[in-house]
Structures are given as structure tokens and as C-alpha cells.
Amino acid sequence: MPSITRSVVRRRNWRWSPGNEHTPRGWVCFPGPGTAVAEFEFFDDAEADWGKRESAVRLKMNPFECGPLPMVSSLPDTILRDFLMDTGIEPPAAGIEWDAWWTANREQLSDEQRARVWQAVDKVRFFEITEEAIGPEVHVVVDVTWEERVGIYVADWDGGEVIRVCRHSQRAGEISRGRSQQSRIAVAGRRGVDGPPFANCRPCNVPDPFTPGSTRLLRLPQVPFNEVLTIPFDETRDSGPVSQDDRITVVIRRDYASGPLGFRISETDYVSAGVPVKAFADWDLARDHAKELERTARSWFNPFLIASDPRELGGWSPESVRESLIQECRGYGIPLPAPDCNHAEWWLNHVSPLPAEFRSLLYWAVFDEVNFYTVMRVEFEG
């Protein structure tokens, strides 16, 4: 009997923040689903692929740059130290940060000891395996959102501007190639064939540890101006089958990239920019799916990892905090953060331990502008 699900290996949505007055330095994992990199009929095959990819990234990454220690490991500091010393690892001395310790010592550790460290940092994983139903799919044409910087073009976000949805991959490919050719002609007309190069890395804010050769620069003829993404399609709707000239609704994951004032969301001039997640024939079903994804994201994500200054998130101040929120905080015995405190640590210490429903309540009450998902109507070719 054929399988009704498949095992998909996905890259989780880690983004680098160089650190400034608004954001802490380090890697931040944003809500998914992440980019699919492989799929298999059997879970064991997916797990083997996951292991190879995870091991390759671990050779390049500092796990202690992936957030404060409680976000990195389930083990408290003292137990973590004992866990490492059991295999002869000398943990950092007082006053030495864990990330600096790893940078200074990782080359001196044996393979067994490095594996022990990665076992301890059990909250840091770069890929995941999801079991996904096999069903109808559509193919989404996306314009990559290239931006010209000083002497180089970069694409800081996954996904891009959603252009068209097609039932057949061949038609989506035709549209994508045609738009790419138009884009090359337009860029050549403005900047010439030998204009600024394009960074072969998405996101482009740092050399991407997930992409081999990510620092390579591309010239105009090789640049991917468009891509075709395949996503699930729920054809359910009350008014009958989707016709050739209909529009369908696409749930989009909005991506974030680091900028001078903290993380920027993937909108700018592209209202529809982002990563297509799932298509629906029915608007209400799409909206409900987006809301469920949003609820899940807000139940665990720390909003102050986007910007440690709350004013960058919509204004945490006596004027903007709702009275109901203050009452809820007091009801749970949570101290309200002082204006000059480290808000990311405040959230981690006081909010993260609470039930998921309260974390969501706190999120919705204050951070209305921090949304990870949206829906939009898109032209459809059946």
C-alpha cells in the first residue's frame, strides 16, 4: 500500500544579527516552516539525510551564539558543566562567556568531546524532519527581492514577491524564465552587463553556513531573478472546483533580515513578499490556517530577539501597555520590565516558563505589528 505521507527535511529559519543598540548579537531562529531541502518516502532515509546535513553545519557553527544559555541547552549551568567534565572537557572559567570559550577551545576538543557538547546544547538544531501528507500541489512563481547596496546586489530574504500560482510545473517554469529574462534586460539597461555582482547567498547578510560556496559572486547571466516553489493545495470550497480564471489564497510566511536598526520584515515595497507555505481555494480556510500558524509561533518565540528596544516593536511604554495586560502580569506574579532592562532576558526568565496560552495572550496584547504570517489572493492558472 503506497504511503500517504512523506518525510521532509527542512532547514530551520536561523538568521544572523550582528548586534547593535537594538538587537543582541547572535543567531535567531524564527518560526517556520523552513525551506525544504530533501524529501523521502521513509523516515529512516530522511533521518540519515538530516544527520549528514546537521553534522556539516555543526562544523561551522558556534552553538553558544544561538541565544542565551537557557535557549541553547535544557541543562542548567552547573549541570551542564558537570555533564561536560564527565568526558574531560574543562568548561569556561568564571567571567568567560560560553561563545568565546567555544571559539578558543573547539579545535582542541576530540570528536567525542565535540559530540558531547552538541548533545548538551539540545535546543540548537539547524534542520528538522516533518511528516507531511501527500496530496494536491501547486507551483508558485516568486520574484526574488534583490536590492542594490554599495557595489553589490543582495537578497536578504527567503522567498520573494509572489506573482502567480500554476497547477502545472511546466507553465510555472515558462513564466519564471520569461520574467527572469525581462529582469536581466532591465538591469543591463540600467547598470550594464558588467554592473555590480550579485551575492550567491540567500539570506545575504552573512556567508550562509547552510549553503556551500555562499560567498561566491554571480554576474548578470547567472543570477536567479525568479524561482518556482511547490506547496500543498487545499482545493476544498463550497462554490465548487477552482476554475482557470480564479484567484486562490496563499498563506505566506513573512521573513526577517537584520538591518541597521534591528530586524526588517520582508515587505518594503513588496506587499506580498515572503515564503509561500500553502494554497487554498477557500479564503476562510486559508485565514484560519494562517491564524493557527501565528498562534503556534507566538506561543514560543521571544519577540525581543527581533529588537531589544521595545519601541522598535510597537512601543512598550506606560501609554501603550493595556491595563488588561498589566493585570494579567500581576495575576501570574510577573514583574513588569523596567524601561532600561534587557527585555529579551526578562521575557526568557519571566514569560517563557508560563503556559503557552498566556504567552500568546501577552504577545497579541502588545506586539500587534510583529506578525509572521499573512494571506493574499493570487492569480491562478489551472
Cα–Cα distance measured from residue 280 to residue 373, given in angstroms and rounded to the nearest whole number: 15
**Dihedral sign of CA atoms 179, 180, 183, 185 in order:** negative
Condensed to tens digits (0 to 9), the pLDDT of residues 94-132 reads 888 999 999 999 999 999 999 999 999 999 999 999 999
Query: Is there a contact between 378 and 249 (Cβ–Cβ < 8 Å)?
Result: yes
Higher pLDDT residue, 355 or 105? 105
The bridge status of strand 226-234 relative to strand 273-280 is parallel
Q: What ranges do the domains of the chain cover?
A: 5-129, 315-366
Over residues 148-161, mean pLDDT: 83
What pLDDT, on a 0 to 100 scale, did the predictor assign at position 150?
80
Query: Is there a contact between 252 and 283 (Cβ–Cβ < 8 Å)?
Result: no
Q: What are the Cα distances from residue 346, in Å, to 77, 185, 265, 340?
A: 18, 51, 24, 11
Question: Which among 114, 119, 27, 111 has a CA at the least distance from the CA of 75?
Answer: 119
Cα–Cα distance measured from residue 65 to residue 71, given in angstroms and rounded to the nearest whole number: 10
What pLDDT, on a 0 to 100 scale, did the predictor assign at position 60?
87
The continuous run of DSSP H or E covering 327 comes out as helix 323-331
Over residues 67-82, mean pLDDT: 92
pLDDT-derived band of residue 318, with 50, 70 and 90 as boundaries? very low
Query: Is there a contact between 258 and 336 (Cβ–Cβ < 8 Å)?
Result: no
- What mean pLDDT value characterizes the chain? 83
Query: Is there a contact between 281 and 234 (Cβ–Cβ < 8 Å)?
Result: yes
**Dihedral sign of CA atoms 63, 65, 71, 75 in order:** positive
Is it the case that residue 88 has pLDDT exceeding 60?
A: yes
Give residue 333's region: left, alpha or beta (phi > 0; psi -120 to 50): left
Cα–Cα distance measured from residue 155 to residue 214, given in angstroms and rounded to the nearest whole number: 12
Is it the case that residue 243 has pLDDT exceeding 60?
A: no
